[in-house]
Amino acid sequence: MAILDFSKDSGKSIAIHFHTKELGPEGQPLYYHTPENPAVIKGHVEFRTVKETNGGDIDFTFEARVQAKWTEQHGKATISFNNLKRLQEKSWEIRLNRTNPKTISPGVTRFDFDVQLDPGLPSSIEGTRGWFHYRFKAHIKRSFPHRDMAAKELVWVYSSSLRAGQQHEPKIYKSLWNDVLPVTCTLPSDIFYQGQIVPLTVQFEPFLDNSIHRGQELVIVSAFIKMKQYTKLTDPKVFGKERNDKKTVFSLPVTEDWPQTNQGFTKIIMVEFPGAKQLAAAIESGPVTKRHTLKLIMKVRTNMNTEKEAKELRVEMDVKITAPRPEHIKDMAPTHAAPPPYQSIDTDDEDDAMPPEFSRSSSGNKSYGDHPTDVKHLQGL
């Protein structure tokens, strides 16, 4: 995808081509960058002219660059912030055929290039105020700057921190709701890739023996799962300025029936994460930092309480989002019904809304397509 097009001018053109057939989320050339196999971006620059033309040689550059850029209004004054950091860069000078030092000969010039990415570089990220780009630029200077010729292209890089066949320890998040009800949420890991389907195991134990609710049945009034993305932007040039943004990446109601019992139970919920670019990969750099939290938010009561007496139960799980590996993309071909649409909300909301109530019907409607939801009672486990 060209991001600048001063590439054609009355019989002259300059273009950047990449030697890959795969395309990323933005229709850009796609490359995979893994711990075992660093990405090698290959392509060529091509310049064509049908007649003699004045101009310099081609300055060709590559940059892996992270940038935070935003404005703030203070009274009548608008203050701009811009922090750019290059994590890897490379440049070439491409000599063109000439009839004399200032004149380029008619014909075609092709220059092949390759760039091996450094280990640990982040995935491509798009954003309104912060982004990480892999950018190539070819530039020919001419007598008058407004007649310069240039082409800029971005490639999309999936940079995964996961190794092939890597095994992870389950991540356990324990909570004691109101000091009377033990709740445990378990994820298979705390590192997940964009587009992954993740089983979330929720385990409720019986009310504690010293609780006034001992022996009462737990009633789940409503529940939903939310992914929050937290972004920090910095510009040290302006008094160490920081900006903190929040985004709800998705918010999905869990509409299946929950057991009503005093014995405790275990339930498995399948959660499908969005892909890039809706869900950005985690990044820790000077200008831009992104992190993520998965939240289970519920309204619960006992069978001795009314609906109005239901209270909030919340479990927050910090997770790291990385990019998929090539084999993950092949495994992501849809074989199930599409999940409900994600809610992508670019708001700076301070609090998470309470989940909507739902009736305890026996219809068995599911909000996660054909993904199974398993319910197991603690008794007999």
Q: What is the pLDDT of residue 25?
A: 86
| 97 plus 229 within the same structural domain | no
Q: Is the pLDDT of residue 358 over 50?
A: no
Q: Which is higher by pLDDT, 174 or 345? A: 174
pLDDT on residue 74 = 86
Quick check: is 14 in a domain?
Answer: yes
Residue 278 lies in a domain: yes
User: How many residues in total does the chain contain?
Assistant: 381
Task: Tell me the per-residue pLDDT of 121-131, one tens digit each, with 9 for 90 and over.
Answer: 999 999 899 99
Provide, rounded to the nearest whole percent, the portion of the chain with pLDDT above 90.
Answer: 68
Of 128, 159, 190, which one is at a domain's C-terminal end? 159
pLDDT for position 91? 97
Tokens of 158: 């999936």
pLDDT-above-70 percentage for the chain: 84
Q: Are residues 114 and 177 both part of a single domain?
A: no
Q: Among 63-72, 97-106, 366-375, name the one with the lowest average pLDDT.
A: 366-375
Shared domain check, 209 and 355: yes
Task: Identify the band that residue 136 occupies on the pLDDT scale cut at 50, 70 and 90.
Answer: very high
Residues 297, 362 within the same domain? yes
Q: 186 and 154, same structural domain?
A: no
Residue 364 pLDDT grade (very low, low, confident, very high; cuts 50, 70, 90): very low
In a domain, 354, yes or no: yes
Q: What does the alpha-carbon distance between residue 123 and residue 160 come to, in Å, rounded to a whole number?
A: 7
Judgement on whether residues 354 and 219 belong to the same structural domain of the protein = yes
Residue that is last in its domain, among 97, 126, 159: 159
Residues 256 and 146 in one domain: no
**Domain contains 166:** no
Query: Domain residues for 325?
Result: 171-377
Same domain (yes/no): 43, 138: yes
Could you tell me if 285 and 152 lie in one domain? Answer: no
In angstroms, the CA 170 to CA 233 distance is 32
In this structure, is residue 164 part of a structural domain?
Answer: no
What pLDDT does 368 receive? 34
The two tokens of residue 123 are 């995935």
Instruction: Please report the pLDDT score of residue 1 as a whole number.
Output: 43
Give the predicted TM-score (pTM) of the model.
0.81
Structural domains of the chain, count = 2
Q: Could you report the per-residue pLDDT of 175-227, keeping only the tens digit for each?
A: 999 899 999 999 999 999 999 999 999 999 999 999 999 999 999 999 999 99
Specify the pLDDT at position 307.
87
Model confidence at 2: pLDDT above 50: no
Same domain, 222 and 359: yes
- Domain containing residue 175: CATH number: 2.60.40.640
Write down the pLDDT at residue 255.
84
**Can you spell out the DSSP letters for 333-351?**
S--SPPPPPP--B----SS
261 within a domain of the structure (yes/no): yes
pLDDT of residue 166: 83
pLDDT class for 35, splitting at 50, 70, 90? very high
Quickly state the pLDDT bin for 331 (edges 50, 70, 90).
low
